Structure 1
Amino acid sequence: MTRTETTARAGEDLSADSSPTGQATTAIAAFMRQFKGFRDDVHQKFQQQEERMTKLDRNSLRVARPHLASAAETEAPHQKAFAAYLRSGDDDALRGLELEGKAMSTVSGDGGYLVDPETSETIRSTLAGAASIRQIANVVNVEATSYDVLIDQSDLGSGWGDETSQAETGTPQIERISIPLYELSALPKISQRLLDDSAFDIEGWLAGRIADKFSRAEAAAFVTGDGSDKPTGFLTHTIVANGSWSWDTLGYVATGADGAFAGANPGDAVIDLVYALGARYRANGTFVMNSKTAGAVRKIKDLDGRFLWSDGLAAGEPARLLGYPVLIAEDMPDITTGACAIAFGDFAAGYTVAERPDLRILRDPFSAKPHVLFYATKRVGGDVSDFAAIKLLKFAAS
């Protein structure tokens, strides 16, 4: 009701009852009707304003949504499409799918699709936690087919000077080490019956099988790989007595007995190994040996009858030898005559693992009927990046 209508109605009521009491009653009634209309109008405007603010809040939340939430929305279609491909071979959803602007296309004539981010992260975490040189090495992600490391192996000259003179310094000697990447593959096999079972966690099963195959192949290659279609292991390089050490070789310290520790003071060889390493590397040093060698080392005592070996005080903490952590790598050689069964060094400086972050899968339902094969591939390389950062203990008389 408009103010004009209210006034007209009030006029009619006033003409109907001209007594003072009647006029007051009519005026109050008109005021209440006018106030109710004003109140309803204000309430409607408040509702409209609240609806606009709610829409603005939703838009703001959508824009300011955390990266992880946005990533989850992006990854979910890929994960769903990848699961459909694994179970039935249906790759329609994968074709043309884009994740971070990259199409999930085949890599070669043999085909293959990128593994979904959650499965890929599971595999990556398993590899990082495996008993391998990868745990303590320098690990880098690259997009190229090789990775170059530049090492300044010289100590630059230095000197004092005054305002009128300047000390001359030498020219640095830069070494370029190129680490090529090789294709690492695994071929898990599963029955179609399990794939048809929706309760079966195909992604978790596949991640576990691939990670197991990859970790074992990597662990061996990083120690003893010959560099032919695989990474170059640090024990593959030329090994010389530490007194004759030069670049491109690894220096060793002898135990003083063939195939064993010396009969007298066996721990001296381990101490000599530690101090054969330069001080700047020693601070980050780690011992590397296999379980059999660790069993022999942990029996060694010093002159006061104290064991050189100490177990970790907390769960997951590595054992320590002379205060330095110990990595148990089963691909290290056993204690035999002439074997370099123990390594000590700063492997973060001394060994580099280079890899491409993507992992690809090709489904093959034909080669092993009635089973389905999954051909998984990734590219990885590794090599010594600083020959001064690793020393070896050789079980020999000299």
Structure 2
Amino acid sequence: MTKHVSPRGLRGTVSVRADATGDVKALLAELNSDWESFKATMAEKDKELAAKFDDVVTTEKLGRIESSVSDLQSAVDQANAQIAAMQIGAGQAEASLYDAEYSEAFTAHFRKGDVQANLNKGADDEGGYLAPVEWDRTITDQLIETSPMRQIASVQTISTAGFKKVFNLRGTSSGWVGETDGRPETGTPTFGTMTFAPGEIYANPAATQQMLDDSAVNLEAWLASEVETEFSYQEGLAFIAGDGSNKPSGFLTFVTGGSNATANPLGAIEAITAASATALDSDELLDVIYSLPSAFTQSARWLMNRTTQGKVRKLKDGDGNYLWQPSYQAGQPAQLASYPVTEMPGMPDVAADALPIAFGDFRRGYLIVDRTGVRVLRDPYTNKPYVNFYTTKRVGGGVQNPETIKVLKMGAA
């Protein structure tokens, strides 16, 4: 097993070698061992603080263990996502998605710019070429593995310029009548609509011609990796706080007072305001849970970033039990008050007026819209001696049911 945390901040993900179930079990064993050490060290620190004494050695030890717990939990989460992605792809017949003739021509175009007649089946007016199906599938699979929102939200593939959703706003009325009374007409239901328009996301990776000439280079894996990194980074930000201008509308913009608070016919996402601007309270987290209608709690989960998880990890209930619990078996995420936790790097930190924690059923609450197809334009002229591959995909998103999500808003400074 290897574990590495990238220094690229939000772009960084915990990379772990978890190709077999045995590796996941080893991660879980190490995670739970560190969690026990964390609880023991935290108890020692609590005794020190009660005695009005703060030992810097204990503080440093606690910080190291807490960081290790975060790293291991992220590694377990990624391993679980990889296992789930492999299970989803296991039932797909590759032969039905593979166009050998077109793919060979596409690869030749990548390496040397050779355009054959049979490549025209994917041509468009702008000079781009629709990627073969297996390329599009490879990119999508990697996004599922690395973009947390794609793991928990609904995804709708479209072939047009947008996607319109209809909302039933009720309105049907009824009344009590006697046996022989007249039956006057009652109110009829009303409907609302909301349009999800995709914006264009792009990546522009480059390679030297010598690299492309090298037959040992796996061009499909290289492009998928390059595009995945940029697409995942941009999508991760937009699904949370995107302003909807040529990009998805982030779910935090649908919170009461946000820029999209009136965009959905069903209303805005409710915010539960904390008493403090900087401190989290276990009772307030329970308030968030119970503010969500029971119809949506079965598949509900928490969303927060790594820093916020570190603060939540120290919270206890009235009996002295920690609200946060690590994964105990493969496929199981960390739990907070018995609900799974998804680490979302783009979520805000705990600060005055911030929205650091969200809770709800995101499968029913947030919709991602993918415009069918990834397009690649080969450009060997602009950046010599490099060959650029201008790759685009149209992606949209927005809240489809604000009733299924609640957020915790920190108090004012």
What's the TM-score, normalizing by structure 1? Answer: 0.73
Residue from 315, 337, 340 that aligns with 1:325: 340
The answer to whether the Cα contact below 8 Å between 1:158 and 1:167 also exists between their aligned partners in 2 is no
Cα distance 1:169–1:313, how it changes in 2: closer, same or farther (>3 A)?
Answer: farther
Larger Rg, first or second structure (1 or 2)? 1
2:246 matches 1:221: no
Give the AA of the match of 1:396: G
In the TM superposition, what are the counterparts of 1:1-398 in structure 2 within 5 Å? 68=93, 71=96, 75-96=99-120, 103-106=121-124, 108-109=125-126, 111-154=127-170, 170-239=187-256, 247-261=266-280, 266-396=281-411
Which one is further off, 150-159 or 284-293? 150-159
Give the AA of the match of 2:308: T
Secondary structure of 1:226's partner?
coil
Give the C-alpha shift of residue 157 in structure 1: 5.2
The answer to whether the Cα contact below 8 Å between 1:79 and 1:117 also exists between their aligned partners in 2 is no
Task: Tell me, in whole angstroms, the C-alpha distance in 1 between the residues paired with 2:96 and 2:348.
Answer: 44
Give the C-alpha shift of residue 240 in structure 1: 5.3
The answer to whether the Cα contact below 8 Å between 2:268 and 2:402 also exists between their aligned partners in 1 is yes
Secondary structure of 1:284's partner?
coil
Give the C-alpha shift of residue 93 in structure 1: 4.8
Give the C-alpha shift of residue 390 in structure 1: 1.2
Cα distance 1:170–1:307, how it changes in 2: closer, same or farther (>3 A)?
Answer: farther
Give the AA of the match of 2:96: A
Cα distance 1:348–1:164, how it changes in 2: closer, same or farther (>3 A)?
Answer: farther
- In structure 2, runs of 5+ residues without a counterpart are 1-91
Cα distance 1:200–1:163, how it changes in 2: closer, same or farther (>3 A)?
Answer: farther
- In structure 1, runs of 5+ residues without a counterpart are 1-66, 97-102
Q: What RMSD in Å do the two structures reach over aligned CA positions?
A: 2.7
Give the C-alpha shift of residue 154 in structure 1: 3.5
Identity of aligned residues (%): 38
Give the C-alpha shift of residue 352 in structure 1: 0.8
1:122-152 Cα offsets, whole Å, 9 max, x none, are: 1111111223322211100111111011122
Secondary structure of 2:290's partner?
helix
Give the C-alpha shift of residue 178 in structure 1: 0.5
Task: Tell me, in whole angstroms, the C-alpha distance in 1 between the residues paired with 2:285 and 2:113.
Answer: 56
Task: Tell me, in whole angstroms, the C-alpha distance in 2 between the residues paired with 1:69 and 1:206.
Answer: 19
1:288-340 Cα offsets, whole Å, 9 max, x none, are: 11110111111111011111111122234321111111111111100001101
1:229-257 Cα offsets, whole Å, 9 max, x none, are: 1111111235259xx99943221112211
Secondary structure of 2:235's partner?
helix
The answer to whether the Cα contact below 8 Å between 1:353 and 1:382 also exists between their aligned partners in 2 is yes
The answer to whether the Cα contact below 8 Å between 1:260 and 1:337 also exists between their aligned partners in 2 is no
Task: Tell me, in whole angstroms, the C-alpha distance in 2 between the residues paired with 1:356 and 1:310.
Answer: 38
Task: Tell me, in whole angstroms, the C-alpha distance in 2 between the residues paired with 1:309 and 1:206.
Answer: 39
Give the AA of the match of 1:139: V
Task: Tell me, in whole angstroms, the C-alpha distance in 1 between the residues paired with 2:256 and 2:213.
Answer: 54
Cα distance 1:254–1:89, how it changes in 2: closer, same or farther (>3 A)?
Answer: same
1:35-68 Cα offsets, whole Å, 9 max, x none, are: xxxxxxxxxxxxxxxxxxxxxxxxxxxxxxxx94
The answer to whether the Cα contact below 8 Å between 1:240 and 1:251 also exists between their aligned partners in 2 is no
Cα distance 1:279–1:155, how it changes in 2: closer, same or farther (>3 A)?
Answer: farther
Give the AA of the match of 2:284: A
The answer to whether the Cα contact below 8 Å between 2:306 and 2:344 also exists between their aligned partners in 1 is yes
Task: Tell me, in whole angstroms, the C-alpha distance in 2 between the residues paired with 1:70 and 1:240.
Answer: 50
Task: Tell me, in whole angstroms, the C-alpha distance in 2 between the residues paired with 1:329 and 1:278.
Answer: 23
Task: Tell me, in whole angstroms, the C-alpha distance in 1 between the residues paired with 2:238 and 2:326.
Answer: 28
1:260-279 Cα offsets, whole Å, 9 max, x none, are: 22xxxx21111100111111
Secondary structure of 1:260's partner?
coil
What's the TM-score, normalizing by structure 2? Answer: 0.71
